[in-house]
Amino acid sequence: MSAPSAVPDVPLAPRLLPAGSYAGRARMLLLRSATASRRTWLAFVSGFFEPIFYLLAMGQGLGSLVGELPGPGGASLSYAAFIAPGLLAASAMNGAVFDSTYNVFFKLRYARLYDAMLATPLGPIDIALGEIGWALLRGGLYATGFLSVMAAFGLIASPWALLALPAALVVAFAFGAIGMAATSFMRSWQDFDLVTLAVLPMFLFATTFYPLSVYPRWLQLVVECLPLYHAVELMRALTTGAVHLGLLSHLGYFAVMIAVGVVLASRRLDALLLK
């Protein structure tokens, strides 16, 4: 534990952010969120069941009509085994987006929580990393739960699936970072319709429920730009065991999302709160 006045000088992004933006204590925000969530555990639990309901309704119900689908490695897959990794990716996205948009907006505009934090040695980067980190943990927790359910239903075909958990954390981190950056631009609750407008079509069309090959080429190109597409492809490769080096490109996509999101969110917090 560091002494109270020892504030490390860690210029994480010296050119992008002013000095003193980072005290290296983002984990204190995780502690705060964990403490606060003890009173709101119900909302927490509901996010866990949502993808399971989808899996039951579509995987088992619809799956009995669809039959088998070609998996990423070429081998055929049951419909449930096909959509399960998609739902895994989507639940990581949803958990992170919810936390980093609605919850952050409330704290930013109504509770003035970040103003209170900035009166301490904490800086905007601590806040951005702490809040995104919480979104990540939440997404990771959902992913763990869902992976266990997948295992129980026999929908995991490869030990590579163990890596789906860290992959889900990366996906949640990326969506949390972009979500928080986007939230800093929102002026009213109406703007959240835009979040739904971005997230829902992605959930439905970014190869969660059927392979990319159903689209004409030009539409495939559009879908390939969407972040959830990369998350779904990554998860599907891991849970089916069709692992190849090309998967690193998905990780590269998320690394860019994370960098852009964290820097943008920190800068916006700085501009909004330290004026």
Segment (H or E) for 66: helix 63-66
Contact between 4 and another protein per CB under 8 A: yes
Contact between 6 and another protein per CB under 8 A: yes
Residue type, 71: G
Q: How far is the CB of 102 from another protein (least distance, A)?
A: 13
Contact between 115 and another protein per CB under 8 A: yes
Q: What is d(CA 129, CA 134) in angstroms, rounded to the nearest whole number?
A: 8
Q: How far is the CB of 3 from another protein (least distance, A)?
A: 7
Contact between 64 and another protein per CB under 8 A: no
The binder of another protein chosen from 43, 116, 200, 221 (CB under 8 A): 116
Pairing mode, strands 68-70 and 76-78: antiparallel
Contact between 68 and another protein per CB under 8 A: no
Place of tokens 């490109």: 249
Contact between 244 and another protein per CB under 8 A: no
Nearer to another protein, 75 or 271 (CB): 271
The binder of another protein chosen from 39, 187, 217, 244 (CB under 8 A): 39
Contact between 241 and another protein per CB under 8 A: no
Q: CA neighbours within 13 Å on the CB side: how many for 114?
A: 28
Contact between 32 and another protein per CB under 8 A: yes
Q: Convert 93-134 into a string of H (helix), E (strand) and C (coil).
A: HHHHHHHHHHHHHHHHHHCCHHHHHHCCCCCHHHHHHHHHHH
Q: What is d(CA 20, CA 44) in angstroms, rounded to the nearest whole number?
A: 34
Q: Which residues are at the interface with another protein (CB under 8 A)?
A: 1-7, 19-20, 23, 25, 28, 31-32, 35-36, 39-40, 111-113, 115-123, 273-275
